[in-house]
Amino acid sequence: MTEGYHDDFPRFDEGFEALDEVPAPAPDPAPTPAPAAKKPCIALMGEFSAGKSTLSNLLIGQSPLPVKVTATQLPPVRISHGTGQAWREDLDGTVHPLDIDALCEVTPAETRLVQLFVEADLLTMCDLIDMPGISDPNMDPSVWEGVIGQADGVIWCTHATQAWRQSEAAVWEELSDRLAQSSILLLTRCDKLVTEEDRARVLKRVKREAEDQFAAVFPISLTQAVAGRDDWDLWTASGAEAFSQTFIALLNGLRGAPGGEEPVLPRASDISPAPAAAPPGTGDMAEDGVRPRRVAVNPNRGRSARPGGDRAAGFDGI
C-alpha cells in the first residue's frame, strides 16, 4: 500500500507540470484610441458686398488674397491652415498648381475652387470657404452651388440696412435643412443703423423671420471689430465678442469630443483680444482672452463630404 501510494505522486506532479505549461491568458488589448476630431469647414455666404471678405480677414487676422485681388472676382476660395502650395480645381475636377501672384487671372468660367493655405490660429480649428455673393449679377449661382456641399456650417452675412431680403431667405431655405443648426446669421454694418431703436427694430424683425433657421443671430460692425482687435471696449461694442464666443462653441460642437463627452472650448483661438486690464465681470476669462460660453448644438447633424480635402492632402509636394 505504501509503495503504491508513493507511485501515485509522480503522476500527480505531472499534472501540475502540464498546468504550468498552459500559457498565461493574453492581457486585455489596449483600448482603441479615439479618432482625431475632424476639422469642420465653414462657408462665408451672403449677398454681394455684405462683408464676407472683411469677416474672413477678421477671423484669420490677415487678408489671404493679394492686394489687387478681390473675392468678388473669384470662384469659391477655400482657406486652410498651413504653408502648402496653392492650387485650383478646374471644372473637370483636375487640380493645377497656382501661383498666388497670378490669382487675379483665375475666373469662375474655368475654375471650380481655389485652395489657399495660411498660418492662422483659427484655421487650426476649421477651414473657411469665402463664397461669391449670391446676388452678384456677374456670377451664376452654380459657381457656389457646386461647392456648398463641402461646408459643415455657414456664417451668413446680411447687410443690416436691408437685412434678410427675400432673395437671401429663398436661397437659405434650400440649405437650412442640413445646415441650420450649425450656422450663424450676422447682421453686418450695424453701425449704419443710426439709433438704438433702429438696431433693436431690425434685430427683432430678423429674429422673428429667421431665428429658427440658424443656431444664433448677432448684430455686428465688422469694421469696428477689425479696428478693435487691440481695443477690448471697441471689440465688445462692435458685437464681435458675443459672436466669437458662440462661433468657437459651435466649432467645438462640430468637432465633437471623444467618448461622447461634452466638447471643451479650446484655448487656441486668437479671435478676441486679451485686454491689458480685464474689464469688470471677466474673472473667468482664459489666458488668451476667450471667455467660455456654450450654445446648444445638435450632435446628430449630418456631415457632408469634402472632396477638396483629399486633393489638397496629395498636392502639398508640388
DSSP 44-96: EEESTTSSHHHHHHHHHTS-SS-TT--GGGSS-EEEEES-PPPEEEETTS-EE
CA-to-CA distance for 5 and 69, rounded, in angstroms?
Answer: 101
Please give the model's pTM, rounded to 2 decimal places: 0.72
Give the DSSP H or E segment for 154: strand 153-159
| 140, three cell numbers | 451664376
* pLDDT value of position 298: 35
Residue type, 56: S
Residue 270: count of CB within 10 angstroms of its CB: 17
H helix runs in the chain, sequence order: 2-21, 52-60, 142-145, 166-179, 196-210, 222-227, 232-237, 240-255, 307-313
pLDDT at 280: 42
pLDDT of residue 31: 54
Query: What does each C-alpha distance from 295 to 86, 102, 114, 165, 189 come to in angstroms?
Result: 35, 42, 32, 26, 24
pLDDT for res 305: 39
Structure-block grid coordinates of residue 221: 460692425
CB 164 within 8 A of CB 188: no
Domains of the chain by residue range: 41-300
Kind of pairing, strands 41-46 and 95-97?
unpaired
Instruction: Please give the torsion angle defined by the CA atoms of residues 88, 128, 183 and 108, in that order, rounded to the nearest 10 degrees.
Output: -30
Please name which of 216, 191, 219 lies closest in space to residue 203, comparing C-alpha atoms: 219
Cα 14 from Cα 70, distance rounded (Å): 87
Domain 41-300 carries which CATH code?
3.40.50.300
Please give the pLDDT value at position 70. 67
Question: How many other CB atoms are there within 10 angstroms of residue 227's CB atom?
Answer: 13
The DSSP code sequence of 86-104 is PEEEETTS-EEE--GGGGG
Residues 6+ apart with CB under 8 A from 38: 255, 256, 303
pLDDT number for residue 142: 85
Among candidate residues 32, 217, 54, 228, the one with its CA nearest the CA of residue 130: 54
Could you say which residues of the chain have pLDDT below 50? 1-20, 22, 257-270, 274-318
